[in-house]
Amino acid sequence: MSIDMTLASIGHGALSEKFDDALIDVIKNTTNPNTDATTKRKLVIELTFTPDKNDRGFCGLSAKVTTKLGATKPLTSLVSMGFDHETGEIAAVEHAAVQQSLFDKSPNAAPVSVEPKHETLQKVVGISR
């Protein structure tokens, strides 16, 4: 028996390249600290042979490489939000272990501020400047 075909030769090397790319994806996903370490990953090489209906000496060959990777863990956080009725400032900061006041004026404070339009302040809170 003589078969002059290997996984490395299928598609003139394309199947081998697809395998290499998929293997890298599996390794990256497995080592990613944002995925569950115990989830099984899967890499599948699927070859489909479709015989020619008129000549069984020929087959179409379809090759594909698929992966099943570990899902990333959801990211959760806590955000403090507020509205300064004196200044009209809206602020939001992500919670940290050492939390500053939402409207702290110290040099280390870094709230994310959005200045609403004057008309919005009047409609929502009845503040005018």
Q: What is the DSSP string of 57-72?
A: T-EEEEEEEEEE-PPB
Same domain flag for 54 and 93: no
Cβ neighbours around 1 below 10 Å, total: 2
Q: Which of 20, 118, 29, 114 is nearest to 72 (CA)?
A: 29
Question: At residue 75, what are phi and psi to the nearest 5 degrees?
Answer: -95, 130
Same domain flag for 24 and 59: yes
Query: How do residues 12-25 score in pLDDT, each as one tens digit?
Result: 999 999 999 999 99
Domain span at residue 83 reads 79-125
In this structure, what token pair is assigned to residue 26? Answer: 């599996």
> Which pTM was predicted?
0.59
Number of domains in the chain: 2
Query: How do residues 28-53 score in pLDDT, each as one tens digit?
Result: 999 999 999 999 999 999 999 999 99
